[in-house]
Amino acid sequence: MADPLDLLAGDAGLDVTQPVAGADLLADPNAPGPFARGVKSGVAGVKSSLYGAGALAARGATAVLPAAAAPVTTGLEQAALANVEAQNEVAEQGAMSFEDVVADPSRAGEYFKFLLGNAVPSLAMIAAGGLTGMGLGALATRGSATALAARAAGTVAPAVRAGGYLGAVAPDFALEAGSIYPEALKTGVENPALRSIVGGAGAAALDVLPLLTAERYLAPIGAGGAKALLKGAAKGAPVGALLEGTQEAGQSAVERLAAGKPMTGPDAISDYVNSFLGGAAPGT
- Residues 149 and 141: beta-carbon distance below 8 Å: no
Confidence at residue 22, expressed as pLDDT on a 0 to 100 scale: 47
Q: Is 94 helix (H, G, I), strand (E, B) or coil?
A: coil
Q: For 69, phi and psi rounded to 5 degrees?
A: -85, -10
For the chain, what percent of residues have pLDDT higher than 90? 57
Q: Which of 8-17, 84-93, 257-266 has the lowest mean pLDDT?
A: 8-17
pLDDT band at 148 (very low <50, low <70, confident <90, very high): confident
* More reliable by pLDDT, 244 or 10: 244
CA atoms within 13 A on the CB side of 162: 8
Question: Higher confidence at residue 235 or residue 34?
Answer: 34
Q: What is the mean pLDDT of the chain?
A: 84
Q: How confident is the model at residue 165 (pLDDT cuts 50, 70, 90)?
A: confident
208 pLDDT above the threshold of 50 = yes
Angstrom distances, CA of residue 233 to CA of 191, 238, 241, 255: 43, 9, 11, 30
